[in-house]
Amino acid sequence: MSNYRRSRVPGGTWFFTLTLADRQSRLLIDEIALLRHAYGQTQRSRPFRTIAICILPDHFHAIWSLPDGDADFAGRWSLLKSTFSRQFPAATASPSKTRRREKGIWQRRFWEHQIRDASDLQRHVEYIHYNPVKHGLVERVADWPYSSFNRYVGKGLLPSDWAGSAGADGLFGE
C-alpha cells in the first residue's frame, strides 16, 4: 500500500483535478445542475473560496483557498463527491467499492498541487481556463460555458479574446 502524504497548510491555496472513473463519460456536463448543487452545498457546509474552476465532461479543475486555520480540502472533496454521487442509483459494485460505500462514479483519488506564489497561481488559472480548448471542446476559451473564465472577463482580469484559438501557445499549469 502506498504511503501518500498530502500537503497540510492551513489557509492555503491549491489546484485540484478530480476525474470520473469512466473517462468516456459526459456526466459532469450532462448533470451540471446536480454538480452545481453538490458544489454549493459543500461550500456552504465547509467554506472555501473558489479562485478558478472549469468543468469538463469527465473531469474538472479548481483552485481553492481555504479559511485561516483550516487545511481539510480532502474532507471537502469527499463531501462534494458523495453529495453528487447520491443523486444517482446504485449500480452493481465490486466488493471493494461496496466496502468503501462507493458507487464507482469517481476515481478514488484526486490530484492536488499547493500554489506556491503569484506566478504559480497565474499559470494554473490559465491552465484551467484553457483546458476546454486543449481538449478540443471549443475553439475559443470564451465559448465554454462551464468555466470561471467569463467571471474573470467580467471583472476586467482577462480580455474576452484571451487565448482564443486552439493554436495559442502558453506555459499553462504544471
Segments making up each domain of the chain, as ranges? 13-115+146-154
Q: What CA–CA distance (Å, rounded) separates 149 from 160?
A: 9
Query: Which of 124, 123, 101, 94 lies closest to 111, judged by CA?
Result: 124
DSSP 106: B
- The catalytic position among 39, 127, 130, 146 is 146
- Model pTM? 0.85
Q: Active site includes 4?
A: no
Q: pLDDT per position in the chain (174 positions), as tens?
A: 456 566 778 899 999 999 999 999 999 999 999 999 999 999 999 999 999 999 999 999 999 999 999 999 999 999 999 999 999 875 545 555 444 544 589 998 899 999 999 999 999 999 999 999 999 999 999 999 999 999 999 999 999 999 865 444 455 554
The reported pLDDT for the residue numbered 135 is 96
Q: What CA–CA distance (Å, rounded) separates 171 from 95?
A: 43
**Strand extents, DSSP E, the chain:** 13-19, 49-55, 59-65, 111-114
**Pair type for strands 111-114 and 13-19:** antiparallel
13-115+146-154, CATH topology level: Alpha-Beta Plaits (3.30.70)
The reported pLDDT for the residue numbered 10 is 86
**How far apart are the two ends of the chain, measured CA to CA in Å?**
27
Q: What CA–CA distance (Å, rounded) separates 50 from 171?
A: 22
